Structure 1
Amino acid sequence: MMEWLLTYHVGGIVIGICTFLIIGFFHPVVVKAEYYWGTRCWWIFLLLGILALAGSVLVDNLLIASLLGVFSFSSFWTIKELFEQRERVLKGWFPMNPQRKHEYEVPPTDTPE
């Protein structure tokens, strides 16, 4: 496979397409993960990112190592997006899970009247 990619100089295109697909995969994952589990599942993405990062260092194949690196840092970015997704839910841009409504309640601030 790598010989074919190198012969026709399409390795960059394949990595680009796969990167696009990996990033596109994570967008609905963020929405669903926040809906069902909230931000408390962030550690799963940290673990996935660390494992993929280790895999990218250990793999000899440049294509696979590159894609593992993209997956790794997409997992790390997902941690940030989970917390931002919570904010988007609070703004009403995305649906709130009614079974976890208590997690979205913001305590009142003590402001002098």
Structure 2
Amino acid sequence: MEFIEAYNLTGLIIGICTFLIIGFFHPVVVKAEYYWGTGCWWIFLVLGIVGTVAALLVSNVLWSSLLGVFAFSSFWTIKEIFEQEERVRKGWFPANPKKIKKSS
């Protein structure tokens, strides 16, 4: 941490890690909807709440920021899972043939 602070790299590291965290969640959305459908939204709610609490408890700016990014990326994933379901319905992404379909 001393090296990071000595060379003022905190902002760059937060930026790079934010990019990676958001990039990590894109395939997670696709896979989660494919295997579990929208019923797994609550997992991301729990992850978001845990990440928010952790961000509030951590005093280090770098780690607190990254936990906050993780938390709100988890919250955003809830919205994206429901949108992914619509993208699958439109045929933009493959549907899981083994997944039980909801009756409309």
* TM-score, normalisation: structure 1: 0.89
Cα deviation for residue 76 of structure 1 reads: 0.1
**Structure 2: which amino acid aligns with 1:83?**
F
Which residue does 2:46 correspond to in 1?
Answer: 47
1:85-104 deviations in Å (ceiling 9; x for gaps): 0000000000001012523x
Q: State the identity %.
A: 67
**Secondary structure at 2:101's aligned position in 1?**
helix
- Superposed, 1:90-105 pairs within 5 Å as 90-100=89-99, 102-103=101-102
Which residue does 1:76 correspond to in 2?
Answer: 75
**Secondary structure at 1:100's aligned position in 2?**
coil
- Superposed, 1:1-113 pairs within 5 Å as 1=1, 3-100=2-99, 102-103=101-102, 107=104
* TM-score, normalisation: structure 2: 0.96
**Structure 1: which amino acid aligns with 2:91?**
G
Aligned CA-pair RMSD = 1.0
- Larger radius of gyration between Structure 1 and Structure 2: 1
Cα deviation for residue 45 of structure 1 reads: 0.1
Q: Give every structure 1 segment of 4 or more consecutive aligned residues whose post-TM-superposition deviation is greater than 6 Å.
A: none
**Secondary structure at 1:43's aligned position in 2?**
helix
Q: Structure with the greater relative contact order (CA < 8 A, sep ≥ 6): 1 or 2?
A: 2
Gaps of 5+ in 2: none
1:59-104 deviations in Å (ceiling 9; x for gaps): 111111000000000000000000000000000000001012523x
Structure 2 Cα separation of the partners of residues 100 and 76 of structure 1: 24
Structure 2 Cα separation of the partners of residues 59 and 69 of structure 1: 10
